[in-house]
Amino acid sequence: MNERKATPMEKLATFIVDKRNLFFLLYIFAIVFCFFSTNWVKVENDITTYLPEETETRQGLTLMNEEFITYGSAKVMVSNITYETGDKLRGEIEEIEGVSETAFDNTSDHFKNSSALFDITFDGTAEDEISIQALHEIEELLEPYDTYMDTEVGADDAAALKSEMQVIIVIAAIIIVVVLTLTSRSYAEVPVLIATFGVAAILNMGTNFLCGTISFISNSVTVVLQLALAIDYAIILCHRFSDEHETLPAREACIAALSKAIPEISSSSLTTISGLAALAFMHFGIGLDLATVLIKAIMLSLLSVFTLMPGLLMLFSNLIDKSKHRKLLPQITAIGKYDVATRFIIPPIFAVVLVITAILANNCPYCYSFTDLTTAKQSESQIAYQKIKNTFGTSNMVALIVPSGNYKAEASLLKALEAHPEVKSAMGLGNIEAMDGYTLTSALNPREFSELAGIEYELSNLLYSAYAVNDDQYGQILNGLDNYQVPLFDMFLFLKDQMEKGNITLEGDIQDTLDDLFDQLEKAKLQLKSEDYSRMVIYLNLPEESEETFDFLKVIHQEAARFYDEAYVVGNSTSDYDLSTSFVNDNLLISILSALFVIVILLFTFKSAGLPVLLILVIQGSIWINFSFPTIYEEPLYFLSYLIVNSIQMGANIDYAIVISSHYKELKQEMHPKRAIVEALNEAFPTIFTSGSILAVAGALIGQMTTNPIISAIGSCLSRGTIISIILVLAVLPQILVLGDNIIEHTSFELNRINLSSKNYSGTIRVQGRLRGRVNGVMEGSFYGIIRGEMDAMITSGKAVELDSEAPFITEEKGNEAHE
């Protein structure tokens, strides 16, 4: 007898299994490399970096970073003290090296209900060592007091988040071992599964440097999501191996299992990858960042399952055989029977729920700033922010950037802005008082300047002459300097330059006074004026995020347009506005693309137009139900959490529906649909339980144990959405499949296979479909029912199944149950 020729997939599987030691060696090299390359990964903590380049916030932030210096600051509240104590502390804080200014007075802005609020400005930026050291000294000074400190100086959110995620991963790993033990067939399968995933996670973290810079979101949640999304692949291969090993030796069983699992697992991964791929089309760059890292994680998980796990199965095969145990997960036959009994009740109820939750989800209270969001676990900084906010309220600051050089326009613009009730205060070079009632941009002649600066008139004339020559304004010298006016800010900086060059020397108190003034002017210049642009700081009497705030941003632009052709408004409010604008398009785009990608994949998987629609309807329903909770509880939901979870829930949770549908489609070829759905649920439950429980638990841990509001919201929504999806695929999808069997079959574009020859049947035969042949005579036509006796017929569509001789006649509900 000729041996069957091996298929290409079997040849590939044989190569992988036989060369397993080579693959072990390659993975060892890769792991060692990844331990080093993990340190090369650059993490971006500023989410506004991912705004589209054309947005005002992105352009304005780029200008601010290039043109100006922003000094570090801190809001420090000391409770349960008198005003006198607060004033004493203010003096002590200002004496600390590295502290530039401490704002504190007896107004309600700084002292209220026995609490003092100090607005501290440092001599360096938030990252400079001088600012960090000064902050530590302030902490030591205020240690005896009830103190709350809100500042970005020295804050390392990335390190804090990394530490939190390490704890989450450890707890998740323990829970995962328990879940895998419950769903495994042998205790020794668990270390194989853990090792396969662990290697995939290390490979993904070690190759993130290839992406350049990744976001803190991708860097923190990828490991947990990778495990939850990809653990199914390892379980499928493990169960395949167990099935094949019942009749084949370990090597042959591993080859057979791998050759069958590669197409199955690859097909299963497509829905998850397609859901994540939808994120890449977001205008907001965080989508592409997350999609790239997560899709890479899925691909590396597939690689580990296909090339590492077969070798591990061979290595642990003896232990797997010795440690087999009975099924620890119970059958869910009762749920299946309940589903069959309620097939006419649940779908209509679900349809009503769909409409209601779609409306609720559409009215979800999205927010675009996470400043005011609270998490289950809060950091000291978050607690301090809430305490200060509850006592003194919040301040909303925006920066206005305009071309420099026109001091009159700047002063007029500042005055116009301060006239609006929405503006608490506005500050720029045009309205900062220098001395004796003059502002920094007031234009003075030589005599006025000599009186103000306390220098001789002749020296002032010489200084103005030098300034005119330096500025190529020779006509001013020829016409006389008496009426030559120069802005104070420019003249003081010119005087400073001349003194540094040694052209002018002053002594005594005048020199000391000017030195202090020059320091202040230099800081003002670094913060408020560059060669090309000027920056103004505007404090608003408006919340950071509201329609009223967004509308007033347009008013600021209108006022600026009266004086300048170019202007940028930058701040948390403008960032929120840009994010809200991009969200509208991104939300629609992701919803359509994720559903479209999944439908296309399901069309080719099930070769039916109706079934994909039914499956998508169930998962989309779970998404709507998930995001109706924020509406019901009136809790703001960070928009990014919705976009990410929407995509992941569609791409990953659809697998649960696919598993049940696949089993049901196979089983109903052999048994009645009502019985087939019960058996399908029993067969699919271990896979759904494993993947679903891991994803739900991982999400819940992230939601409860991280202080980052964005990460926490993603985890909570993902956990809740996964639980809802599991409930729907177990308690709603079965009814829809049985009830919609006609739709599925009539929308199938798979050609029915026709038996070209007659077949003999005897005993009790259940026939569903069209037949032609002899049944105690000649019979032709569509038929559904039971035949007792003998039949010699050709089945042109549908099927005929020989039953036990005691099988009863099926006479009820033919129109709803008899479908192929």
Calculate helix-pair angle for 457-470, 488-501, nearest 10 degrees: 90
With beta carbons less than 8 A apart as the criterion, state whether 789 and 767 touch. no
Closest Cα to residue 738, out of 674, 685, 665?
674
Helix (H, G, I), strand (E, B), or coil: what is residue 757?
Answer: coil
pLDDT at site 779: 52
Give pLDDT tens digits for 476-515.
777 777 888 888 888 888 888 877 777 777 666 666 666 7
Query: Is 813 a residue whose pLDDT tops 50?
Result: no
- Per residue in 14-56, pLDDT (tens digit) is 999 999 999 999 999 999 999 999 889 888 888 888 888 888 8
Q: What confidence score (pLDDT) does residue 570 get?
A: 92
Residue 646: how many CA atoms within 13 Å on its side-chain side? 27
CA distances to 653, 733, 764, 818 from 664, rounded to whole Å, are 18, 11, 23, 14
pLDDT for position 755? 41
Q: Model confidence at 670, in pLDDT bands (50, 70, 90)? A: confident
Which pair of structure tokens corresponds to residue 329? Answer: 């997960």
Segment 587-623, tens digit of pLDDT: 888 888 887 887 888 787 777 777 788 888 888 899 9
- The lowest-confidence range among 379-393, 586-600, 706-720 is 586-600
Q: What is the mean pLDDT of residues 760-774?
A: 62
Single-letter amino acid code for the residue at 288 = L
Q: Is the pLDDT of residue 762 over 60?
A: yes
Q: What is the pLDDT of residue 148?
A: 94
* Residue 298 confidence (pLDDT) above 80: yes
Confidence of residue 786 (pLDDT cuts 50, 70, 90): low
pLDDT at 776: 61
What is the CB neighbour count within 10 angstroms for residue 156? Answer: 11
Q: What is the pLDDT of residue 807?
A: 43
pLDDT of residue 756: 41
pLDDT for 226 equals: 82
pLDDT of residue 111: 94
| Rounded average pLDDT over 347-368 | 92
Given a cut of 50, whether residue 777 has pLDDT beyond it is no
How far is 704 from 129, CA to CA, in rounded Å?
Answer: 33
Place of tokens 């005691």: 806
Least confident of 105-109, 272-276, 651-655, 692-696: 651-655
Q: Is the pLDDT of residue 97 over 60?
A: yes
Indicate whether 814 pLDDT > 60. Answer: no
Count the neighbouring beta carbons within 10 Å of the beta carbon of residue 405. Answer: 12
pLDDT of residue 496: 81
| Residue 815 predicted with pLDDT over 50 | no
pLDDT score recorded for residue 330: 83
pLDDT at 39: 87
Comparison of pLDDT for 647 and 427, the residue scoring more: 427
User: What's the CA gap between 597 and 606, in Å, rounded?
Assistant: 14
Long-range CB pairs of 237-244, under 8 A, 24+ apart, other chains included: 237/261, 237/265, 237/305, 237/309, 237/310, 237/313, 238/184, 238/189, 238/192, 238/193, 238/309, 238/313, 239/185, 241/313, 242/185, 242/186, 242/189, 242/320
Mean pLDDT of the region 618-644: 90
Q: Which of 12-26, 108-122, 233-247 has the lowest mean pLDDT?
A: 233-247
CA 46 from chain centre, in angstroms, equals: 13
Q: CA of 781: how far to CAs of 270, 332, 772, 776, 812, in Å? A: 41, 39, 7, 15, 20
pLDDT of residue 223 exceeding 60: yes
How far, in Å, are 266, 370, 657, 660 from residue 651 at the CA level?
Answer: 14, 26, 11, 16
Q: What was the pLDDT predicted at 79? A: 94
DSSP state of 326: -
Q: E-strand spans in 279-418?
A: 366-367, 396-403
For residue 754, name the pLDDT band (cuts at 50, 70, 90): very low
Distance CA 523, CA 544 (A): 27
pLDDT in tens, 515-569: 777 777 778 888 888 888 999 999 999 998 889 999 999 999 999 999 999 999 9
Residue 711 CA from chain centroid, whole number: 7
Q: How many CB atoms lie within 10 A of CB 249?
A: 10
Rounded to an integer, what distance in angstroms lies between the CA atom of residue 808 and that of residue 803?
10
Q: What pLDDT score does 30 carry?
A: 94
Instruction: Reply yes or no on whether the pLDDT at 655 is more than 60.
Output: yes
Q: How far apart are CA 684 and CA 253, in angstroms?
A: 22
Q: How far apart are CA 298 and CA 302, in angstroms?
A: 6
Q: Lowest-confidence range among 231-245, 334-348, 504-518?
A: 504-518
Looking at per-residue confidence, does 354 or 665 come out higher? 354
Under the banding of pLDDT at 50, 70 and 90, the label for residue 812 is very low
Residue 634 has pLDDT above 50, yes or no: yes
pLDDT of residue 467: 85
Please identify which residue in the block is written with the tokens 């129109």. 815
Mean model confidence pLDDT for the chain? 83
Q: Is 401 a residue whose pLDDT tops 70?
A: yes
pLDDT reported for residue 435: 72
The DSSP symbol for 700 reads H
Separation between Cα atoms, residue 296 and residue 290, nearest integer Å? 10
The pLDDT of residue 246 is 83
Above 70 in pLDDT, residue 207?
yes
- The confidence score (pLDDT) of residue 480 equals 75
The pLDDT value given to residue 413: 94
Residue count (the chain): 820
Rounded Cα–Cα distance for residues 609 and 744 (Å): 7
Ordered DSSP codes for 48-77: GGGS-TTSHHHHHHHHHHHH-----EEEEE
Beta partners for residue 793, in sequence order: 759, 773
Q: Are 214 and 293 in contact, with CB atoms under 8 Å apart?
A: yes
Flag the least confident range among 158-162, 425-429, 619-623: 158-162
